[in-house]
Amino acid sequence: MNARDKIKPKSIRVAILSALADGAITTIDDLQTTLDVPRKKVVDNAVHAANDNLIKRMRDDVTGLA
């Protein structure tokens, strides 16, 4: 391991916050691909992070989904 290797957070919530740190709007599918964890785990933790006001959930104009 060298200084350029990415460190993988042990907490899924920290991993979600790190993935969203650049401020770009990201879909659940993109988060799932980036984090390489099951979709249910991403959705459950994203919901809890939104309930704790750590992230903001938005609705897709086309599908109406979060």
- For residues 31-40, give the mean pLDDT: 91
What is the separation of C-alpha 21 from the centre of its chain, rounded to a whole number of angstroms?
10
Which residue, chain included where needed, has tokens 């990201």? 26
Q: Is the pLDDT of residue 2 over 70?
A: no
Output the pTM of the full model: 0.75
From the centroid of its chain, how far is CA 54? 11
Tokens of residue 22, six digits: 């650049």
CA-based R_g, the chain, Å: 13
* Identity of residue 3: A
What does the pLDDT read at residue 55?
A: 92
> 44 is written with which tokens?
């459950």
